[in-house]
Structure 1
Amino acid sequence: MSPLIERKTGKRVAIPIETVDVAGMVAAEARLGPAHRQWLVSTAYRATPGAILVLPDVKGAIARVLVGVDRNDPLAALGSLPSRLPEGLYELAEESVIEDRDLLALGWALGAYRFDRYRTRARPPAQLVVDAATLRSVQPVIDATNQVRDLVNTPTEDMGPEHLSAAIRAHADEHKAKVQEWVGDELLAANFPTIHAVGRASHRPPRMIELTWGKNSNPKLVIIGKGVCFDTGGLDIKPADGMRWMKKDMGGAAHAIALAGLVMQARLPVRLTLLVPAVENAIAGNAMRPGDVIKTRGGQTVEVDNTDAEGRLVLCDAIAYAVEQAPDLIVDFATLTGAARVALGPELPALFTNRDQLADHVIGAAELVGDPLWRLPLWRPYRRMLESYVADFANAGPSRHAGAITAALYLERFVPETQNWMHLDTYSWNDTDRPAHPRGGEAQGLRAFYRFLSERYS
């Protein structure tokens, strides 16, 4: 059941929901009749964010709903209501302290999401009636966000490299795009050595998946997603608590796939390439070892200091391949470092780019759509932390300082100075339930980058 339905003419009656805050309660109260004003007094209602007050009519049915909100967070305003309100039809009241109805509707729909592939949902969500223009505006973003969530939430047994390939091929079929893959030892023949090295120990062969779409005459856009479908850490094995949620280590690929789908659905005038290196970082007799040296696609040699720093290894071959196309822009998404979470917490992805104007543009877009990002620096003196005495550089080093920055600096080594490049280190996960953000897989930065790309290539 869809949480949003289009407003139609007829007798269907929806219950109005009015967003209020402490500052606006006097005006809200003045609009109510005597009985409802007394109900406010009797319930001692305070319009704090998330506080709901159901106002009954004389027959005991729901006549109106007041919900306390933070005006600065419209996405969260209605995000808990689909499961907290009784089943039925609701609509936004004309009177509201938040004017952005698209964000209110989006928050409602995102809050209604539940991952129920493996269990029965307790009850359907309440539904919000919206006008056709709002539905057209938000539905593609809802679908893309929920695709990210579904891909990340699915256990690895049902979300291996071949399943990421199937998700990409579904988009290709829908939008008449082309897909090419290199699987297993084909990666070596095609010169993707680091992708092969990371994934060769799994019973599921590693693969590089490429989707292309759009006219050759349009600006070239490359979107890359880290597709590590499970990360044991390799021979530098993770402890149990560190490995528990590693089904989400393909969150970067989930973002890239969903964003590519939005680009194609909107028919942005670009020549799109989607690249997803898809692997499992497993343990077997042929697993890569600490101290191994790999010659990358870009020609640089890399010493494997730590097999658990595998994401940057699969990404570097993809980035090198993207650079060969001389695109207007390369964007990569990755659940790359725990250090980014230590620095910024779980809700704020770390943005890196080699162009100030790109950072300004995407951060501005993020603010408009309520999808926050925070820029961290490519502090090049920290390259010394990745020095190797046997190779051009290492994939990690002994210092735990500035882990998100050194990971981004590793990737930057494969990006020419003349190439526009952006990298998002995203958690792709909600540890707990929040309004509009249910626990589990999450799209973080997806809406910001879609708005940014829509503006850049409109």
Structure 2
Amino acid sequence: MLSTLVTRKNAKTLPIVVVDDASFPGWRKQQGKAVQRWLDASTFEPRGNRATLIPGARGPKLALFGSKDASPWAWAGAAQRLPPGRYRLDTELEEAAATDAAIGWALSAYRFDRYKSEAAAAPRELVWPKAADRAEVARVVEAIGLARDLINTPAGDLGPAEVAETAKRLGAAHGAKVTVTHGKRLEAGYPMIHAVGRGSARGPRLIDLRWGSKDAPSVTLVGKGVVFDSGGLDLKNAAGMLRMKKDMGGAAIVLGLAKLIMDAELPVRLRVLVPTVENLPGADAYRPLDVLRSKHGKTVEISNTDAEGRLILADALAEADAERPDLLIDVATL
């Protein structure tokens, strides 16, 4: 993704003119009648993620971008509306806006091509905006890329063990301590995480990543990591099960956010907890009307085995809350 941000223009580089509700009428009046008619025909409006090419005598002469909502997502949407080629900003942007533009442009190039053999399509490249914070762009794009790759990976290649290995690699790269609890220790300490995952041959785990100074404000992130959710014995139908590889999206997001925090060396004491399981109707799966004891000590009667997310999060949140962090955030697909 970052390779779509380049350092220099070439002979075919097209300028991007950024307009909004206030500047667009004046800019339009300065153009010739042919361009004005083109704009009328294209129904272009100066809104976020709107983009159009303005024709010249020998092909496009510039790209017009509507910046009312100049978020990274607006830039990503606009970039995807342009043909392959190299572009540069013809409008000066402040640092925050230029950084958002570069982030959005890079994210627009995201492709999950791990299983594809054909060559990638020709890229859309942007000359680095002058005021952009390049280090921040790289941090954000790489963190989001990690989360997206995890979410898109098929469950057959991403079980609880693979999620744990991802966390270990992330921790090793930043000097973080990573502990993975599984087996009998998980059953004893986090019984609901263990119960939900015991129906799968790929055993459940609780991942615990710690990083930062002990004197810094404490931030704890908890992410639901159900690598595949069949519904358990209360089995989902085919349509309901189709996209359940993405039921670990919460885990992916907190791992991506942890990478961003550690890359930026933020002054926090970070803890990341990821309960990761596969909810399958195996021989040892938990059943409707089973009564489970939680880490907190409360008992929970199961009415539906497809309510697994709140069970594993209950144990993980009990663990997180025991330290009374200054900020506690949980992320889950529920």
Q: In structure 1, what is the Cα distance between the partners aligned to 2:250 and 2:76?
A: 24
**Matched residue, 2:43:** 46
Using a 3 Å threshold, how does the CA distance of structure 1 residues 329 and 23 change in structure 2: closer, same or farther? Answer: closer
**Matched residue, 1:117:** 114
Given that 1:20 and 1:47 are in contact with CA atoms closer than 8 Å, whether structure 2 keeps it comes out as no
Q: In structure 2, what is the Cα distance between the partners aligned to 1:227 and 1:89?
A: 39
Q: Does 1:255 align with 2:246?
A: no
Letter matched to residue 116 of structure 1? D
**Matched residue, 1:5:** 5
Given that 2:222 and 2:330 are in contact with CA atoms closer than 8 Å, whether structure 1 keeps it comes out as yes
Deviation, 1:160, is 1.1
Using a 3 Å threshold, how does the CA distance of structure 1 residues 257 and 185 change in structure 2: closer, same or farther? Answer: same
Give runs of aligned pairs for residues 24-423 of structure 1, distance below 5 A.
Answer: 24-32=23-31, 34=32, 37-42=33-38, 44-48=41-45, 49=47, 52-58=51-57, 60-67=58-65, 69=66, 71-72=68-69, 74-94=71-91, 100-119=97-116, 120=118, 122-130=120-128, 131=130, 133-189=132-188, 191-336=189-334
Query: What 5-or-longer segments of structure 1 have no aligned partner?
Result: 337-458
- The CA deviation string for residues 225-281 of structure 1, in whole angstroms up to 9 with x for no partner, is 100000011111111111111001000000111111111111122221111111000
Q: In structure 1, what is the Cα distance between the partners aligned to 2:264 and 2:185?
A: 34
Which has the larger displacement, 320-329 or 276-285?
320-329
Using a 3 Å threshold, how does the CA distance of structure 1 residues 324 and 51 change in structure 2: closer, same or farther? Answer: closer
Given that 2:70 and 2:100 are in contact with CA atoms closer than 8 Å, whether structure 1 keeps it comes out as no
Query: What 5-or-longer segments of structure 2 have no aligned partner?
Result: none
Given that 2:18 and 2:67 are in contact with CA atoms closer than 8 Å, whether structure 1 keeps it comes out as no
3-state SS of 1:248 partner: helix
Q: In structure 2, what is the Cα distance between the partners aligned to 1:181 and 1:81?
A: 42
Using a 3 Å threshold, how does the CA distance of structure 1 residues 83 and 72 change in structure 2: closer, same or farther? Answer: closer
Given that 2:151 and 2:246 are in contact with CA atoms closer than 8 Å, whether structure 1 keeps it comes out as yes
Using a 3 Å threshold, how does the CA distance of structure 1 residues 241 and 73 change in structure 2: closer, same or farther? Answer: farther
Deviation, 1:222, is 1.4
Which has the larger displacement, 75-84 or 267-276?
75-84
Q: In structure 2, what is the Cα distance between the partners aligned to 1:328 and 1:21?
A: 40
Letter matched to residue 54 of structure 1? L
Deviation, 1:70, is 5.8
Deviation, 1:311, is 0.5
User: Normalization by structure 1: what TM-score?
Assistant: 0.66
Letter matched to residue 109 of structure 1? A
Q: Percent identity?
A: 42
Letter matched to residue 321 of structure 1? E
Given that 1:22 and 1:46 are in contact with CA atoms closer than 8 Å, whether structure 2 keeps it comes out as no
Q: In structure 2, what is the Cα distance between the partners aligned to 1:132 and 1:160?
A: 42
Using a 3 Å threshold, how does the CA distance of structure 1 residues 234 and 3 change in structure 2: closer, same or farther? Answer: same
Q: In structure 2, what is the Cα distance between the partners aligned to 1:42 and 1:175?
A: 52
Deviation, 1:124, is 3.3
Q: In structure 2, what is the Cα distance between the partners aligned to 1:81 and 1:112?
A: 12
Given that 1:3 and 1:112 are in contact with CA atoms closer than 8 Å, whether structure 2 keeps it comes out as no
Q: In structure 2, what is the Cα distance between the partners aligned to 1:187 and 1:89?
A: 53
Given that 1:224 and 1:275 are in contact with CA atoms closer than 8 Å, whether structure 2 keeps it comes out as yes
Deviation, 1:76, is 4.1
Given that 1:56 and 1:64 are in contact with CA atoms closer than 8 Å, whether structure 2 keeps it comes out as yes
User: Normalization by structure 2: what TM-score?
Assistant: 0.89
Letter matched to residue 261 of structure 1? K
Deviation, 1:121, is 5.5
Letter matched to residue 216 of structure 2? N
3-state SS of 2:206 partner: strand
3-state SS of 2:34 partner: helix
Tell me the number of residue pairs that the alignment of Structure 1 and Structure 2 aligns. 329
